[in-house]
Amino acid sequence: MPDSIILDGAIIHTVKHSMENSSGSKTPAIQFENLTRKFDNVIAVDNINLSIPKGCFFGFLGPNGAGKSTTINMLIGLIKPTSGKILVLGHDISKQRIDVKRMLGIVPEHLNLYDRLKGREYLEFSGALYGLKREEAISRTREILSLLEIDGEKFITDLSLGMKKKVSLGAALLHKPRILILDEPFTSVDAISARKIKDILQTMTRSGVTIFMSSHIMEIIERLCNQVAIIHYGKILLSGSTQELLRGERKDTHHTLEEVFVDIVGVDSEGANLSWIK
């Protein structure tokens, strides 16, 4: 029997730590098993269990300091778990790190690009790192530069933050990853480019690619993601279908994802004012 919460009088059933695999495949795209990460005496991620099906557009939510970035850094192999396991398409990342990384495309929140390369050079270089033939890397780079309206002859150091974000996304897409991991991908991106990126991402999930996205922009998560999970103080408080969480048990009751998020996290906004602003 699933756990439940009450939001404005409506019962919302939640499915903790597990999600139905809509693709019908028994092997999930991403699986966390008792995943824990400690920094000295601080538990940043606390024994989480989560199964994300192939082809899912998954939204990972939580307030600042909740454990999102730590979880993502473990998923992409930047830091090791204190205990527990991460499986990516059935591969144990602790034992098959290189094989897993070949399947991933990553757009981190804090970009670390080679500033003295031109945008075009950086994309072609990224394609080479993933083993693309030179002609294929050049061809795909041209498509990305054209679609996202990136000036490929500018040095990265001279690009705006939004343009750098688009270069990073392009590099993550070049090798046609099976799983795409996005941390605040729409920050500083203009509305036209954001629309194009959303179209690309939705096309990818329709073709079976799994997208794991973290963002503080609730409207984007609500619009794009078909599954979500909320983490707070290192624990998964809620996970399941986006529409089920928004609708609740009563079909005539509708909520925004922000309302669900605030209710679950338990934000107390009473008295949230500055003394000189009334």
Q: Are residues 118 and 79 in contact, defined by beta-carbon separation less than 8 angstroms?
A: no
Residue 166 covered by a domain: no
- 138-160 pLDDT, tens digit per residue, is 999 999 999 999 999 999 999 99
Domain at 22, CATH number: 3.40.50.300
Q: Which of 109-113, 163-167, 202-206 has the lowest mean pLDDT?
A: 109-113
Residue 254 pLDDT > 70, yes or no?
no
Residue 199 pLDDT > 70, yes or no?
yes
Q: Are residues 150 and 189 in contact, defined by beta-carbon separation less than 8 angstroms?
A: no
**pLDDT tier at 251 (50, 70, 90 boundaries)?**
low
Q: 3-state SS of the chain?
A: CCEEEEECCEEEEECCCCCCCCCCCCCCCEEEEEEEEEECCEEEEEEEEEEECCCCEEEEECCCCCCHHHHHHHHCCCCCCCEEEEEECCEECCCCHHHHHHHEEEECCCCCCCCCCEHHHHHHHHHHHCCCCHHHHHHHHHHHHHHCCCCCCCEHHHCCHHHHHHHHHHHHHCCCCCEEEEECCCCCCCHHHHHHHHHHHHHHHHCCCEEEEECCCHHHHHHHCCEEEEEECCEEEEEEEHHHHHHCCCCCCCCCHHHHHHHHHCCCCCCCCCCCCC
Residue 215 covered by a domain: yes
Residue 217 covered by a domain: yes
Residue 11 covered by a domain: yes
* Model confidence, pTM: 0.86
Query: Regarding predicted confidence, which is higher, 11 or 227?
Result: 227
What's residue 268's pLDDT?
64
Mean of all residue pLDDT scores within the chain: 87
- 217-227 pLDDT, tens digit per residue, is 899 999 999 99
Residue 103 pLDDT > 60, yes or no?
yes
Q: What is the domain range of residue 64?
A: 3-106+176-265
**pLDDT tier at 7 (50, 70, 90 boundaries)?**
very low
Residue 249 pLDDT > 90, yes or no?
no
Residue 125 covered by a domain: no
Residue 118 covered by a domain: no
Residue 218 covered by a domain: yes
Residue 142 covered by a domain: no
- 72-100 pLDDT, tens digit per residue, is 999 999 999 999 999 999 999 999 989 99
Number of domains in the chain: 1
What is the percentage of the chain residues whose pLDDT exceeds 90? 71
